[in-house]
Structures are given as structure tokens and as C-alpha cells.
Amino acid sequence: MGMPLRRGEFAKYHALGNDYIVVDGDLVRPKLDAERVRALCARHTGIGSDGVLALHRPKRGELCLRIWNPDGSEAEKTGNGVRIFARFLWDFRYVRVKELEIATPGGRVTARLSVTRGEVRAIRVDMGRASFLSTDLPMLGPPREVVDEPLRVGSLDLRVTCVSIGNPHCVRFVPNLHPEVLRSIGPQLETHPIFPKRTNVQLACVRSRTRIDALIWERGAGETLASGSSSCAVAAAAHRLGLVDRKAEVHMPGGSLRIEIGADQSLRMTGPATPVYRGAFL
């Protein structure tokens, strides 16, 4: 898509329908803050997106990603966002290598670009290790692994498995998926007092040893078509419960991602990222 962004420019990408505005955070004036991010992400009065990704280079050769949710809060990590960010760096010639180390607030990740005749076909990301420890999420109560644990939500008694991948996730396995159920319990789980930093929420239905269907409620964004870190959390939780193998596809309304789980709970995600357009702020 051309040379690196100039001051006042942005790029728009989506990953399975999960869309982001991408900017060079070192050039944006005025600098990003919660109010400006909310304005940019507004669907009717702004550019419209599920968040903003900002490139920062505090040291020569270092690639740092700052992740903004559409409500103006910040996230530790995003799987779809990392794939988008890696493709953006290649498309706009910030890098000419196919393996990138990217620093996120939730830890460093490695992205590998699959390129054919100059076109990025897929991006594989090593997302770090899954942890079920309550102290890593964080989650209130005694230190423990949160695996198939009962949780009272309003008038409902649910069972959930909670996973940290550098950011928090709460997975509920169900026999069938219903969007209206997600819209009801998603916000209640996201803001449940047991999660002091809120949480991402997934409803998941295991279809086979290698396939899981999922609906996603993202912290700070609400219902989304797809999520990379949520897909990793769903696969890790299902494997921890003995429901799937170490390789599985997670299918969401926006599309599917391939997830691989290592013996050390390391997570590898493979999927696309698609450019939409390049633009300039008014």
C-alpha cells in the first residue's frame, strides 16, 4: 500500500471482520487519548472501528504496539490486532523481513508473514503461554486454577474456565450458540466484580476434536465478529478440559483461525489480515 505513513495519515485493516485503525503513534498530533480514540472509532461520526493500533519506536529497530479499545481503554494484547499490525508494517515498508518481534503491553510476540509474490497470504503469531491461574488474570479469591469453576452471574449459576494470554478471558462452554445469550451475559461477565480489570468473554461450542464454534464479547468493544486472543483462549480452555486435540480451528461469525497448543501451553495462531484503505485525518 505504499511508503510509511506521513503525519495526519492512517490505515484501515480488518481481520475476519474485526477492524482497526492503524497509525504511526510517534507522528499523531494531537497525541492519542481516550477521548480522541472514542471519536475515531465511532461508527456514525468517526472513521469507525473496533479499536486503534499505534506504532511506537522508542529505540532503533524496536516495534512497539499500543492497543486502544473503542471505549478509550487500553488492552494488553490482541491476536487479530497483531496480525493486522504485522501486515501493516510489511505493506507500508516499515520492515522488509518476514519474521517480526513485536512488543505489546501483554508481552512480546513473534509474527511470521507468509508472502507469495509480494502479497501477504497469512500471518502466524506465537501468542505466548496460556495460564489458568487466578493471579495471572487477575481474578479475586484465593490463588487457584480457574477451570470449570462455578460463578454466579445475576440470577444464573454458570461454570466458566478463565485463561490469561497476557490479557484476561472467561470461557463458557455451551451445547448451542445463541447471540442473544452472548448479548445478555457478555456485559455481565465483562464487568463482574470478580474481575478487577474486567475480562473478555467467549461462548464456545465444541463440534469435534478439531473444531470449536465461538461467539465473542470483547472487553471495551462488545460483540465482535472475531478475535485472535479469544480464539486462543477458547482452544486452550477446551484442551485443558480434554475436549479437543492440540490443533483445532476456532470458527467465529467473521471466519476461522487455526490454533496450535504446545506441551508447555504455548499458543500459535494462524490467519489472515486484510487492508481496507489508506486515509488522512481532517
Q: Say yes or no: 30 and 106 in one domain.
A: yes
Q: Say yes or no: 275 and 251 in one domain.
A: no
User: What per-residue confidence (pLDDT) applies to 14?
Assistant: 98
| Average pLDDT rounded to a whole number, residues 230-254 | 98
Cβ atoms 195, 168 nearer than 8 A:
yes
Q: Please, which pLDDT band fits residue 229 given cuts at 50, 70 and 90?
A: very high
Q: Is residue 204 part of a domain?
A: yes
Q: Say yes or no: 177 and 250 in one domain.
A: yes
User: What per-residue confidence (pLDDT) applies to 118?
Assistant: 83
pLDDT above 70 coverage of the chain, percent: 100
User: What per-residue confidence (pLDDT) applies to 235?
Assistant: 98
Q: Is residue 253 part of a domain?
A: yes
User: What per-residue confidence (pLDDT) applies to 59?
Assistant: 84
User: What per-residue confidence (pLDDT) applies to 279?
Assistant: 96
Q: Is residue 153 part of a domain?
A: yes
Q: Say yes or no: 110 and 157 in one domain.
A: no
User: What per-residue confidence (pLDDT) applies to 186?
Assistant: 98
Q: Say yes or no: 166 and 204 in one domain.
A: yes
| Average pLDDT rounded to a whole number, residues 70-85 | 97
Does the pLDDT at position 79 exceed 80?
yes
Residue-number span of the structural domain to which 227 is assigned: 149-264
pTM value surpassing 0.85: yes
Q: Say yes or no: 117 and 161 in one domain.
A: no
User: What per-residue confidence (pLDDT) applies to 282?
Assistant: 82
Q: Is residue 92 part of a domain?
A: yes
Q: What total number of domains does the chain contain?
A: 2
Q: Is residue 158 part of a domain?
A: yes
Q: Say yes or no: 16 and 119 in one domain.
A: yes
User: What per-residue confidence (pLDDT) applies to 65?
Assistant: 98
- Rounded to whole angstroms, what are the CA distances from 274 to 108, 125, 242? 23, 16, 34
Q: Say yes or no: 248 and 275 in one domain.
A: no
Query: For the CA atoms of the chain, what is the radius of gyration?
Result: 18
Which CATH number fits the domain that encloses residue 214? 3.10.310.10
Q: Is residue 122 part of a domain?
A: yes
Average pLDDT, rounded, for the chain:
96
Cell of 85: 499490525
Cβ atoms 227, 80 nearer than 8 A:
yes
> Using one digit for the tens of pLDDT, what is the confidence trace for 144-190?
999 999 999 999 999 999 999 999 999 999 999 999 999 999 999 99
Q: Say yes or no: 182 and 99 in one domain.
A: no
Q: Say yes or no: 154 and 252 in one domain.
A: yes
Q: Is residue 65 part of a domain?
A: yes
Q: Say yes or no: 102 and 120 in one domain.
A: yes
> Using one digit for the tens of pLDDT, what is the confidence trace for 208-223?
999 999 999 999 999 9
Q: Say yes or no: 19 and 122 in one domain.
A: yes
| Average pLDDT rounded to a whole number, residues 245-258 | 98
Q: Is residue 138 part of a domain?
A: no
